[in-house]
Structure 1
Amino acid sequence: MGRINGTALIIAALVVTVGALAFPVWSYADRSGTGEANLNAGSVSTRWGPLSATDRDFIVKVRLAGLWELPAGQQAVERAPSKAIKEAGDHLIVGHTDLDERVRGIAAQLGVELPNQPTTQQQGWLRELTDATGEDYQRKFANLLRVAHGKVFSLIAQVRDTTRNSLVRQLASDANQTVLDHITVLEGTGYVDFDAIANDTAGKSTASPTGPPPPDGNTPPQPEPAGPTGDVSGTSRPSPGAPGTVNTDRPEPQM
């Protein structure tokens, strides 16, 4: 009898242990606070696909970008002493006028309310530009706007990759072209402080650097060119434009 009771106790202990280990597995999917649960809780159905909280935040951020970058661009055209800054201002005006038309149309279709004023931080940037003059103004203009575009660039990539809504996906594609064009012309002014941008990003990262070892001064072996094997006749062509330029030619927005 003692042997049987001992065996029963062992079996009971094993059952409890397995149950304890299994509980987090089967219960996790139903727990609130998980990524998938949060995604579904924050999403609404539309005829163009689910509209998530991240999608709606992106739509608002596209609108906000235009609300401060358009007047910043106009100020640059009117005040900047150099041709490069004036050209960057022109790109901001043209790009965000077009993008604002697109985002207003999409927001109306999806029922997303849009702001009519820049954020407090964006208004502060505009005041900072207004108070600056000469060389200081040009540096502030190039760097404030380059940093702002760099931050939204990563959000565009995330939304373009993950959205389930076709209207938001198209807006992300359009915004990507506009932002990349603006980044390119801002860098073309010669005033962007790349060290400051890199150091700021590095200061917020906790991951260790990865990649190949640093160059040792010797010329590395040339890699083989990548290409198809056999006789393949492609019909597409590489994107037009010289290196470092961005093709912003795209269809009219569909309202």
Structure 2
Amino acid sequence: MFRTLTALAAVGALLVPAQPVHAAPSSAAVASRPSLQDQAFLIAAHESHLFEIAGGRIAQRRGLTQAVNALGSRFIRDHTVMDRALTATAAELGVALPNQPNAAQRARLAQYEEYDADRFDIVFVLTQLLGHQAAVADGKREVREGSDPRVIKLARDAAPTITAHHHQLIAARLALQP
């Protein structure tokens, strides 16, 4: 019995390497790279800012109501400010950002241009409500799951503005009801 245990211990020692096969990266290297969550948030938020700025311009031009025109102006102003902070942070972290909204957002912008003038305001408000709901959820996910304090701060700082937009969209939706 003793010989069997000794033999098993010797075989076990051969199976376990003395040093790890893959050394973990240094803490400095890990700290300098944003997590996949942080990168995904930066990219998605930047695309959303670009979409909101472009959509705001369309709302200013095509909106029939003062509420939609005002939302367009506010979206342009607020998302431009938020995107400046985001792009600076992404540059610090070495995260490459796209130069345009994503494909679905570009398709929505094209639809905004095609809607009948009498339908534009309601379609704009309803689609923006959905988009701002998603933005609120994305920001909460970043705060909960992000790792870089600078990116988490961007999400926290944007939350009151995105929430205010959402409330303004709800008010506009109620004003547009027949």
TM-score range, shorter chain: 0.7 to 0.9
- Residue 164 of structure 1 corresponds to 147
TM-score by length of 1: 0.55
RMSD: 2.0
2:83 and 2:55 map into 1 onto residues whose CA distance is 15
Structure 2 counterpart SS, 1:113 = coil
Residue equivalent to 1:151: 134
* Equivalent pairs, count: 149
Q: Distance in 1 between matches of 2:147 and 2:55?
A: 33
Give, in angstroms, the shift of residue 191 of structure 1: 5.4
1:142 aligns with 2:125: yes
- Greater Cα radius of gyration, structure 1 or 2: 1
Unpaired runs of 5+ residues, structure 2, are 1-24
2:49 and 2:147 mapped to 1: Cα distance?
Answer: 24
Map 1:14-93 onto structure 2 (within 5 A): 45-46=30-31, 51-93=34-76
| Kept in 2: contact 1:143–1:191 (CA 8 A) | no
Unaligned runs of 5+ in 1: 1-39, 194-255
CA distance in 2, matches of 1:115, 1:192: 36
User: How far apart in 2 are the matches of 1:135 and 1:81?
Assistant: 8
**Identity over the aligned pairs, expressed in percent?**
24
Q: Which has the higher contact order (CA 8 A, sep 6+)?
A: 2
When structure 1 is superposed on structure 2, of 60-69 and 183-192 the one drifting more is: 183-192
User: After the TM superposition, which residues 1-255 of structure 1 pair with which residues of structure 2 at under 5 Å, given as runs?
Assistant: 45-46=30-31, 51-190=34-173
Q: TM-score, normalised by structure 2?
A: 0.77
Please give the per-residue CA displacement for 1:60-117, whole angstroms capped at 9, x wherever unaligned: 0110001111011011112211111111111111111001101110000000000001
- What's the CA shift string for 1:137-168, capped at 9, x where partnerless? 01110011110111121121111123221101
Q: Which structure carries more helix by proportion?
A: 2
Q: Which runs of 4 or more aligned residues in structure 1 lie more than 3 Å from their structure 2 counterparts after TM superposition?
A: none
